[in-house]
Structure 1
Amino acid sequence: MTGQTESPLIEIAGLTKRFGAFTAVDDVSFKVARGEVLGFLGPNGAGKSTTMRMLAGFMTPTAGRASICGHDVQADAVAARKMLGFLPEGAPTYPEMTVLSFLKFVARIRGYSGGELADRVDHAIGLTTLAGVRMQPVETLSKGFKRRVGLAQALLHDPPVLVLDEPTDGLDPNQKHEVRTLIARMAPSKAIVISTHILEEVDAVCSRAIVIANGRVVADATPAELAKRHPSGKLDDVFRALTQPKAA
């Protein structure tokens, strides 16, 4: 049938996480369609990483639900994770493994073998410019290279959904440009969420931005629409106005 629109690849409804009396994420809801790059913004402690972990199925929500490509991340976790590439904060790896052996290990877990495994690993290494360090143990790498190894494992299976927590953290300006160019190139075929506190990242690659403060969504708009919310037209001024505590 013509005229049908594709369902959102990411759907979050009423997502809430409490730690005792503290509410880290408070009734967050949004959807992300294929072709969208969503910047998920907020100050430290706003609930960004907690939301990302719940979306990826690594943390159980207190209330609400999240789904990836129609698969509930809690009730249908395996199917959801097959559709997801997740770069968590810190991107834990096995530090004694070389870059190549770690990515081969991830590929085997993803169910690849033989020539397809080798092709997937080579492609991920090429996308993230890791060829020069592929035989080095992960623990010997700089923070920026470790971040790129984390990104490579997220891209390995070419998932339709990417959830990237601070993807350019620790990268030098040239590396940041490479990663942002890669994200822009992949964007048309995927739904991508980038959790970040770097406002220039939103301008560079995001088609939409959500601002979260104290666990709640306080804005959801395009970067251009957000910029209009302050007389200066600058995103950093809008961000401060939305996230700073109001004076008593």
Structure 2
Amino acid sequence: MSLNLRIILSASLVLAIFITLTAAALNRAFAESTESALRDKLTSQLYALLAAAEVTEDEILMPSSELDALLGLPSSGVYAYITNQTGQILWQSSSVLGTELPPAKALQSGHQHFSKSTVNRQNYYTFAYGIHWVTDTSSTPLTFNITTDLVSFNRQINEYRSTLWGWLLAMSVLLLISQTAILRWGLLPLRRVGAELTRIETGSQLQIEERYPEEIKHLTDNINLLLQQERKQKTRYRNALGDLAHSLKTPLAVLQSALNARNK
């Protein structure tokens, strides 16, 4: 495996881990922020319901002009109902009609409760708040409930998640392309050294001639020194063989003459 490919694969692995962890952290932060905003919205709606309610000994009156517009639309996604201490529903908004909601809860005065529940594969988020409604003649324990389905909440989370992953993947591709270009530029001196070594092998040049960065200059200097030593060693071998041939030339000539004389 080439050095270039190793670096790219290593960087891709690190980038994939980083992108995954970043996406998980951002998705969790957005979900928590959106859930907090949903709680605040339900709290404000419940307080508006408390302000609009009129409780008598016999019934609970809720002026329609004071209600949130969504509470008057059947299956609008936002539902309100008031229960007594036994969980019996004393009043419910028009939006509840035709919708099966989570079981009503009765809370003690001053207690509040946020909860998630599922009914018929539909997710709901409920904020319940218990009070003691005091009139001139009686004190009635009541629990005000505001429930919303999580269709809009889940759609918002899914849209954010899709957008987040789209941007992160686009940034990952851009980073990989940039890193590949930078890597090729950074390794260019090594490729130039390789090209020079190829020319030296073919005999088109004697040594490394170009100037290189300090990080590989020591390497190129050592290669040139090695090449010089190899050429000097070859020269010594050539001279030694020449001297040996010259030294053997006279004895061989004498032996050849002696053999010729003997044959005669």
TM-score range, shorter chain: under 0.3
Larger strand proportion of the pair: 1
Q: Give the TM-score of the pair, scaled to structure 1.
A: 0.22
Larger RCO: 1 or 2 (CA < 8 Å, sep 6+) = 1
